[in-house]
Amino acid sequence: MELSYQSTRGGEAGVTASQAILKGLAEDGGLFMPCFIPKLDKSMKELSAMTYQETAYEVMKLYLTDYSEGELKTCIERAYDSKFDTEEIAPLAKAGGSYYLELYHGSTIAFKDMALSILPHLMTVAAKKNEVKNKIVILTATSGDTGKAAMAGFADVEGTEIIVFYPKDGVSRVQELQMVTQKGENTHVAAIHGNFDDAQTGVKKIFGDKEFARKLAEKGFQLSSANSINIGRLVPQVVYYVYAYAKLLSSGEIADGEVINVTVPTGNFGNILAAYLAKQMGVPIKTLICASNENKVLYDFFQTGTYDRNRDFILTSSPSMDILISSNLERLIYLSAGCDADANAAFMKDLSENGAYTVTDFMRGFMDDFKGGFAGEEETRAAIKKVFDDTGYLMDPHTGVAACVYDRYRTKTKDHTKNVIASTASPYKFSRSVLEAMEGKQEEPDEFRVIDHLAEVSRVPVPQAVEEIRTAPVRHNTECDVDKLKEAVEGFLS
């Protein structure tokens, strides 16, 4: 059955999956959502015998219904190959009373690889299907991980240019080095003098600028997005929750039908929304624990029903979660309002005009599967150290936030349902913060000495992606002001 997509703000409907992937964001500023959430047509038992790639096909075929079986399988094969350092693609590790679903075994060692290694393939097939003649310009705002993963995915992909904006002082040293050393003639990156929200808002503004789109079209370009607002990001992320449950089943950790909880370190709300979609598709998930850092706008939202971004933006050691406008929450708002696009559009108008909105009691009830929690910097460091000291398992600060939030949730609710924590980055992407957590003191300035020291202390091998940037030459050095993003785009494309 054909699944079509519509904008969460009502401006577009009847859009095919491939069109939605090409567009990224709807023209009215809304996000594309399917008109219903499909159910898995294989049992968990059947899925438990499948590889990651086979599982990916079973999930993605239900959403991307205008892709042929051959097209989809080719995309999957090209994405989930030896770029990943394990055949399992997303292995599960058991430590300290939870299962860690490691989503960082791809080429840029953060969970963004799970979707961004397939998005370029989905996009080029979509371009062919829709007879796109223009060059596709991928415009991306990043809090650190998306940018690198998108550049790695799109580097030298024919018919595309990739442009990334990241906050100058808002990313880790490894994240920055990964981006500025990126190879590929079609890759462009600029550090902006602002934070992630400034970057994301600026990029969204460009997407909404019809005059600019016309100007680009005259030069043979059209814009698309690699941010998690693109449905082509969201759908591949559903796969690993299905896979995780299936693996727990095949390894005998759970019984068929047994419910599990899932804890996700959250920023833009894409990863946890994928878990929610997995639940709606039939994976026995009970509670979705949404873990925030000190930018706890989502915690407050689940606590009170009011989303309020009017607060200070805090730079933390989990920069990929330093976000006050969680874009993908709009998809949950839309669903909880019974897919009422007008109601959703009114909330989003409130958000852009007043920085806040309050949902109805009915909508809050609809979202009852979500429980919010947050962890401060000190507690996160303590969580990283405790799990390492107790079990030898090393985690990055984003995962540390989740571990801390989950621990508190379990103590408070006495809910001992088995729990999967989404482990979203290699600890080496944030070596300094991780080592400081373990040693309780500030580390020396040289990043690579810190990395080597962490390897000595933890006995976890340094990943290839980090070794590569040790000596790689810097290829990008553009900086720009937050009100000059458009000019930067024009500069890159000329």
Residue numbers at the binding site for ligand PLP (CB under 6 A)? 110-112, 145, 228, 265-271, 320-321, 398, 424-425
Rounded to the nearest whole angstrom, what is the least distance from the CB of residue 447 to ligand PLP in the complex?
18
State both tokens at 50: 């499948």
Cβ neighbours of 81 (radius 10 Å): 12
Nearer to ligand PLP, 287 or 320 (CB): 320
Rounded to the nearest whole angstrom, what is the least distance from the CB of residue 197 to ligand PLP in the complex?
13
DSSP 321: G
DSSP 356-371: EEE--HHHHHHTTTEE
Task: Please give the C-alpha separations between residue 120 and each of 176, 262, 279, 347, in angstroms, as whole numbers.
Answer: 22, 28, 27, 32
State how beta strands 160-167 and 135-141 pair.
Answer: parallel
Question: Cβ distance 3 to 9 under 8 Å?
Answer: no
118/154 Cα distance (integer angstroms): 10
Nearer to ligand PLP, 29 or 400 (CB): 400
Nearer to ligand PLP, 75 or 110 (CB): 110
Nearer to ligand PLP, 111 or 347 (CB): 111
What SS3 state is found at 92?
strand
Residue 443 makes CB contacts below 8 A (sequence gap 6+) with: 432, 435, 436, 450, 453
Nearer to ligand PLP, 76 or 288 (CB): 288
Rounded to the nearest whole angstrom, what is the least distance from the CB of residue 487 to ligand PLP in the complex?
27
Rounded to the nearest whole angstrom, what is the least distance from the CB of residue 26 to ligand PLP in the complex?
19
Beta strands of 122-279 (E only): which ranges?
135-141, 160-167, 187-193, 221-225, 260-265
Rounded to the nearest whole angstrom, what is the least distance from the CB of residue 393 to ligand PLP in the complex?
17
Helical ranges in 136-230 per DSSP H: 145-154, 173-180, 196-207, 210-218
Name residue 5's amino acid. Answer: Y
Rounded to the nearest whole angstrom, what is the least distance from the CB of residue 110 to ligand PLP in the complex?
4
Question: Cβ distance 276 to 37 under 8 Å?
Answer: no
> Which residue's entry shows tokens 């850092």?
293
292/264 Cα distance (integer angstroms): 9
71/170 Cα distance (integer angstroms): 38
Nearer to ligand PLP, 64 or 264 (CB): 264
Q: What dihedral angle (degrees, nearest 10) is formed by the CA atoms of 456, 460, 461, 466?
A: -90
Nearer to ligand PLP, 44 or 425 (CB): 425
In what helix (H) or strand (E) does residue 441 lie, and over which residues does it extend?
none
Rounded to the nearest whole angstrom, what is the least distance from the CB of residue 106 to ligand PLP in the complex?
11
Nearer to ligand PLP, 107 or 124 (CB): 107
What SS3 state is found at 311?
coil
DSSP 135: E
State both tokens at 332: 């949950």
Nearer to ligand PLP, 381 or 398 (CB): 398
Nearer to ligand PLP, 138 or 341 (CB): 138
Rounded to the nearest whole angstrom, what is the least distance from the CB of residue 319 to ligand PLP in the complex?
9
Cβ neighbours of 156 (radius 10 Å): 11
Rounded to the nearest whole angstrom, what is the least distance from the CB of residue 328 to ligand PLP in the complex?
7
Nearer to ligand PLP, 175 or 344 (CB): 175
Question: Cβ distance 374 to 392 under 8 Å?
Answer: no
Name residue 75's amino acid. Answer: C
Rounded to the nearest whole angstrom, what is the least distance from the CB of residue 230 to ligand PLP in the complex?
12
State how beta strands 92-95 and 285-292 pair.
Answer: unpaired
Rounded to the nearest whole angstrom, what is the least distance from the CB of residue 316 to ligand PLP in the complex?
11
From the list 129, 119, 322, 151, the residue with the least C-alpha distance to 228 is: 119
Nearer to ligand PLP, 47 or 451 (CB): 451
Rounded to the nearest whole angstrom, what is the least distance from the CB of residue 288 to ligand PLP in the complex?
12
